[in-house]
Amino acid sequence: MKIQKTPSPNFNARTKPIDMLLVHYTDMESSEAALSWMTNPAAQVSSHYLIDEAGGIYQLVEEDKKAWHAGESFWQGRTNLNDCSIGIELSNPGHSHGYQPFPEAQITALISLSKKIQNRWNIPLSRILGHSDVAPRRKQDPGHLFPWKRLSQEGLGLWPQKVKPTQTLDITENLAQIGYETISLTQTILAFQRHYQPHRVDGIVDEETRSLLQGLLSLHKKLI
């Protein structure tokens, strides 16, 4: 796997061990524009890696340093997730410039790179997530076209079976048990759907949403 170094000045020292992998899209018109932005000191943003549409991998920040990709973020009671995460940006125009499907070469490169990162730091499957999972009120990336199910089949992340929901299934409480912030329940439901029910991202909880949530909860309970 060829990795091209394009160092960014936008990083600082880590304050926590690495235990999370976050996937983003760049939301910019081209990978060149995104690389140029993330290596500009004025931007105050970066990520560890960027993968372009052709599968080219660029490293901007060393993994043992903190890159600035997650912003205000929350998962399982913890905030400031740049401290503990590795960030990978996928070049994509995003919802700002005409969201596109992720090309095969880009996803293949992401899978290879993520497997290495996951092995290197022993990142739990429940902590391989998208930006919108950890910042549901601000972010949509990587969005409903990102192939989370396929990643889970490659051993990267969790994918729930549908399980008949219990009578007591409380949506807010159970999303929180998984790790989500629930300040705006609708925004959190949208984030859950982008990840686990991508064919129906409307913020409305239906029978399938409930079954997927119950399935994800039982996976989480098995992991504890």
Q: Which residues of 154-173 are buried (b: 16+ CB within 10 A; e: fewer)?
A: bebbbbbeebebeeebebee
The active-site residue out of 89, 104, 181, 207 is 89
In the complex, the smallest distance separating the C-beta of residue 45 from Zn ion, rounded to whole angstroms, is 9
Q: Considering beta carbons, is residue 58 or 220 the nearer one to Zn ion?
A: 58
Rg (CA), the chain: 17
111/90 Cα distance (integer angstroms) = 12
Q: Considering beta carbons, is residue 24 or 194 the nearer one to Zn ion?
A: 24
Binding site for Zn ion (CB under 5 A): 24, 131, 141
Q: What share of the chain is helix, strand, coil (3-state, %, to 5)?
A: 40, 15, 45
Q: Considering beta carbons, is residue 129 or 189 the nearer one to Zn ion?
A: 129
Q: What are phi and psi of 33, to 5 degrees?
A: -65, -40
In the complex, the smallest distance separating the C-beta of residue 25 from Zn ion, rounded to whole angstroms, is 7
Is 53 a known active-site residue?
no
In the complex, the smallest distance separating the C-beta of residue 46 from Zn ion, rounded to whole angstroms, is 12
In the complex, the smallest distance separating the C-beta of residue 213 from Zn ion, rounded to whole angstroms, is 24
Q: Considering beta carbons, is residue 133 or 141 the nearer one to Zn ion?
A: 141
**Which ranges constitute the DSSP H helices of the chain?**
31-38, 94-97, 104-121, 131-134, 148-153, 171-178, 185-196, 207-223
In the complex, the smallest distance separating the C-beta of residue 189 from Zn ion, rounded to whole angstroms, is 19
Do the Cβ atoms of 118 and 156 come closer than 8 Å?
yes
11/131 Cα distance (integer angstroms) = 18
Q: Considering beta carbons, is residue 180 or 217 the nearer one to Zn ion?
A: 180
Angle separating helix axes 171-178 and 185-196, nearest 10 degrees? 60
Query: Which residues are annotated as catalytic?
Result: 89
